[in-house]
C-alpha cells in the first residue's frame, strides 16, 4: 500500500506479548455486568435444572455459562441457538463471557427448552436492574428531585405506573424473544431432517 496510509499488522507475525482476552473487553462493557450478575444468582433456588446429569457420560456445561449466553443473546437480539453458537466462536465479547468454552447449538437450545420459566424470570429481573442503574436505555424512573419533594404522593403514583409499564414491556419483549428462539430452533431441526430425508428414503427403497 501507499506510504500515506496506515499499515496493517502482519497476521503471521508472532507477538512477544500477545494481549489477553480481557484486554479486548473494556471495563464498561455490558458483558461484565452479565458475568457479575449471574455469579450472584442461586440457580437451583430459581428453578434451573441441574445440567451435570449428562446422559453421554461426558462433563456438561454449567447452567451459569448457558444462562450468560442467553442473556447476551437477548440484549443483542441474537434470535436462534445456532446463531448463538456461531457468535460464540467469533465474537470477542461472547468469547470473554464464556471464557473460551463452546457449547453446541443443541446444548444451548436444550437449556432453553428445559428452563423456560426460570429464564423468563431472570431476563426480566436483569433488564429492570440494568434500566434502573442506567446500564441500558429506557430508565425506569426519570423524574426531577425537586418535583419529588413538592408533590410526593402524586409522584409515587407516577413512579408506580412507570415501573408497571416497564415490567409489562420487559415481559412482552422477553416472551417475543423466547418464542422467536423456539421457532428458529424448530425450523433448524426441520431443515436438517428435510435434507437427510431423501438419503433415508433411498436407503429404505434399497432395503425394500
Q: Per residue of the chain (208 residues), give pLDDT as tens.
A: 556 777 777 878 776 666 788 988 998 888 998 999 999 999 999 999 988 766 666 788 999 999 999 999 988 888 889 999 999 999 999 999 999 899 999 999 999 999 989 998 898 888 777 766 665 554 333 333 333 333 444 444 444 555 566 666 767 777 787 788 787 777 755 555 445 555 555 555 555 4
From CA 155, how far away is CA 140, in angstroms rounded? 13
Cell triple for 166: 416497564
Tell whether pTM > 0.75: no
From CA 59, how far away is CA 54, in angstroms rounded? 7
Cell triple for 158: 407516577
Instruction: Centre a 10 Å sphere on the Cβ of residue 201 and count the other Cβ atoms it contains.
Output: 10
Query: Phi and psi (nearest 5°) for 188?
Result: -60, -45
The total number of residues written for the chain in this structure? 208
Let me know: does 178 contact 116? Beta carbons within 8 Å: yes
From CA 146, how far away is CA 15, in angstroms rounded? 56
From CA 77, how far away is CA 150, in angstroms rounded? 41
Amino acid at each position: 500500500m501507499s506510504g500515506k496510509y496506515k499499515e496493517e499488522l502482519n497476521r503471521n507475525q508472532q507477538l512477544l506479548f500477545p494481549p489477553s482476552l480481557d484486554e479486548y473487553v473494556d471495563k464498561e462493557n455490558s458483558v461484565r455486568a452479565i458475568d457479575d450478575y449471574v455469579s450472584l444468582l442461586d440457580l437451583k433456588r430459581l428453578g434451573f435444572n441441574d445440567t451435570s446429569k449428562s446422559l453421554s457420560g461426558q462433563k456438561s456445561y454449567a447452567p451459569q455459562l448457558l444462562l450468560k449466553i442467553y442473556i447476551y443473546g437477548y440484549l443483542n437480539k441474537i434470535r436462534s441457538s445456532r446463531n448463538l453458537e456461531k457468535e460464540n466462536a467469533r465474537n470477542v465479547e461472547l468469547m470473554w463471557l464464556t471464557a473460551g468454552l463452546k457449547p453446541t447449538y443443541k446444548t444451548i437450545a436444550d437449556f432453553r427448552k428445559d428452563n423456560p420459566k426460570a429464564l423468563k424470570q431472570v431476563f426480566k429481573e436483569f433488564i429492570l436492574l440494568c434500566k434502573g442503574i442506567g446500564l441500558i436505555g429506557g430508565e425506569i424512573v426519570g423524574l426531577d428531585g425537586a418535583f419529588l419533594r413538592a408533590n410526593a404522593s402524586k409522584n409515587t403514583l407516577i413512579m408506580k405506573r412507570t415501573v408497571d409499564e416497564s415490567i409489562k414491556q420487559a415481559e412482552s419483549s422477553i416472551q417475543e424473544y423466547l418464542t422467536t428462539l423456539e421457532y428458529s430452533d424448530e425450523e433448524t431441526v426441520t431443515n436438517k431432517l428435510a435434507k437427510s430425508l431423501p438419503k433415508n428414503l433411498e436407503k429404505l427403497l434399497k432395503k425394500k
